[in-house]
Structure 1
Amino acid sequence: MLTIGQLARYVGVSTKTVRVYHAKGLLPEPERDSSGYRRYPAQAVVELVKIRMLADAGVPLARIRELASAPEQLDSALQQLDADLTTRIKLLRDTQRRLRKLAAGDIRYLPEEVERHLDGLPGLGFTQRWIAMERDLWIIVYATHPDIADTWFQDQTQALTNPELRQLYLACDQAHDLDPADPSLTELADRIVAASIHRYGAEPPGQAADATIAELLQSTVNASSPALRQLDSLIRNGLEAGGFTLRTGAG
């Protein structure tokens, strides 16, 4: 008969661990003898070795207790745990690869096609300020609406191939520092309204974002400049007057 210290030492665990196994119902706790000590039989060594082996293999203590009452399920349970571990390893490796890319400065928040598009905007005359804002907007769109983000992106890139529409985008960029009362904003808004109705008719193509995200996108643009906030108001009024269905989108 063994004391708890002897049992723990023979199996290679601490007495605290043995007590945890008692508390979890994994190892029966013997009655105290006449001297007030708990004495463990040889079978306790066998049971403790089994528990330790399963625990060291990564089997949760709750599962060990279940398997103790249904040993015939041990093989299938271990196979499932092995499959779960394989999945966890893959996720950890994926996380490690992303961390290494981040550390190397080689991580993209946007699809490669969108990054190439943004990289080409300086050549079209857009300011770095405008490009940075567009990047943030596209990050929001692709994060919240991956199902429609490509449709919006293709619509914008197609617009930029049209010289007249490209000039409107450039004019919006250049309007950033204007006084909100500058009359040129009204003229620019009228041109954008006319171009939008001419291009889309009464309604823009593709699906709409939910109202919260749509307003978040537009508020991001408006917050960057009082002039752009005024331009947005003028455009909205003009589109509504023209019977156009408003849908806020990136760019």
Structure 2
Amino acid sequence: MHAFFMPPRQVKIGDAAAFAGTTPRAIRHYHEIALLPEPERGGDGRRRYGYEDMIRLLWIRKMADAGIALDDIRDAFATGTAAPSAVSGDGIEGILERLEESLAEQEAELRRQRTAVQRMRTEGSRMGLLSDFVTNRLKSLPEGLLRQADWDSLLVTERILGPLGAAVQATRFVVLATHPTLREESDRLDDAEEALDDSVAVDDPRVAEVAGERHAFESALQAVIEESRLGKDDDALFDAWDALHPAATEDGEGEADLSPRRREADSMSVFEAIGKMPYDFSPARLRCMELAEELSAQEPPAT
């Protein structure tokens, strides 16, 4: 006949951890943050854990597995009764409510991230980085016609001016991708502007010359856009944007610009972007850009 087994009145930290399904290191951490009171120690100086300690360890393990922060668990114990294992029902209810709200937010974020990843796989890693409003403008183009620099520019523009600004800029790349002569001239001008490095003085005649060529090119490019259906498509872009964001154009009805009312909340002004987005432009190149803008401003408005 077997003798009746007598359970220990107290156990060492290793046995307590094994029973609760945790580790001695975790239990020591609970002591450090005052989540689990320090138990009495035996004659050998080691901690000894009794029944109430084990109950609290099980509570901690279960609540931590549910995602409740250790600080919240400690607060719930603090508002309970005097018993070591007691937990305030009201306190836990409030914690669980906050946890549920947090989990719902995390689920929504995960769905957003998963949708973004699926879209990148469907649209391609480059096009998928841009919003639908921009990519819809480019879907008529055969794959491979846009360059990496075009995608990069659209990404920056969308960050600054939002999807509407990037969609309008996409029209430019559509024309360049489908008009080899314009693309060739654009490349030549890009090289000429890049040549205006720090070795070129601001008042060098080449600065004004390149500015004039840039102005002439932009006028020719705009003429192609206006003569094609793309000009009308741009008008439709503004209408579509206003339809999607009616509040953004309140008191701005009829405007055809990229004012702050038409930008997304996450976008920034051009002024803000200048101070945050690095561009390796020399003073001569910046002056060239200014001169080109001045030439455009001097032209009479199109009728």
TM over 0.5: yes
Distance 1:43 1:142, change over 3 A: same
Q: 2:157 aligns with which of 141, 159, 163?
A: 141
Name the SS of the counterpart of 2:35 in structure 1.
coil
Aligned-partner Cα distance in 1 for 2:139–2:288: 26
8 Å Cα contact 1:175/1:185 also seen in 2? no
What is the match of residue 68 of structure 1? 77
Task: Give, in angstroms, the shift of residue 16 of structure 1.
Answer: 2.3
What is the match of residue 185 of structure 2? 174
1:39 paired with 2:45, answer no
Name the SS of the counterpart of 2:67 in structure 1.
coil
Q: Which has the higher helix share?
A: 1
Letter in 1 for 2:153: L
Counterparts of residues 9-88 of structure 1 (less than 5 Å):
9-70=18-79, 71=88, 72-88=90-106
Aligned-partner Cα distance in 2 for 1:79–1:233: 57
Letter in 2 for 1:87: E
* 1:51-108 superposed Cα distances (whole Å, 9 cap, x missing partner): 1111121111111111111213111211221221122123223323333443455452
* 1:154-173 superposed Cα distances (whole Å, 9 cap, x missing partner): 59859x99xxxxx9xx7575
What is the match of residue 273 of structure 2? 213
Task: Give, in angstroms, the shift of residue 40 of structure 1.
Answer: 2.5
What is the match of residue 2 of structure 1? 10
1:150 paired with 2:161, answer no
Distance 1:23 1:151, change over 3 A: closer
Letter in 1 for 2:185: Q
What is the match of residue 202 of structure 2? none
If the length of structure 2 is used for normalisation, what is the TM-score? 0.53
Name the SS of the counterpart of 1:21 in structure 2.
helix
Aligned-partner Cα distance in 1 for 2:287–2:38: 77
8 Å Cα contact 1:8/1:14 also seen in 2? yes
What is the match of residue 249 of structure 1? none
What is the match of residue 292 of structure 2? 235
Aligned-partner Cα distance in 2 for 1:9–1:56: 16
What is the match of residue 114 of structure 2? 96
What is the match of residue 164 of structure 1? none
Name the SS of the counterpart of 2:129 in structure 1.
coil
8 Å Cα contact 1:31/1:38 also seen in 2? yes
Number of residue pairs the alignment of both structures matches: 220
8 Å Cα contact 1:185/1:231 also seen in 2? yes
Q: Which moved more, 1:88-97 or 1:16-25?
A: 88-97
Aligned-partner Cα distance in 2 for 1:239–1:8: 76
Q: Which moved more, 1:83-92 or 1:134-143?
A: 134-143
Letter in 2 for 1:53: K
Q: Which moved more, 1:186-195 or 1:36-45?
A: 186-195
Aligned-partner Cα distance in 1 for 2:288–2:45: 87
Aligned-partner Cα distance in 2 for 1:191–1:36: 86
Name the SS of the counterpart of 1:145 in structure 2.
helix
Question: Which structure 1 residue ranges, 5 or more long, are not aligned?
Answer: 162-166, 245-251
Q: 1:189 aligns with which of 184, 208, 215?
A: 215
Distance 1:172 1:237, change over 3 A: farther
Task: Give, in angstroms, the shift of residue 47 of structure 1.
Answer: 1.4
Task: Give, in angstroms, the shift of residue 27 of structure 1.
Answer: 1.4
8 Å Cα contact 2:158/2:165 also seen in 1? no
Distance 1:67 1:239, change over 3 A: same
Task: Give, in angstroms, the shift of residue 37 of structure 1.
Answer: 3.8
* 1:163-197 superposed Cα distances (whole Å, 9 cap, x missing partner): xxxx9xx757524326856x79846735857999x
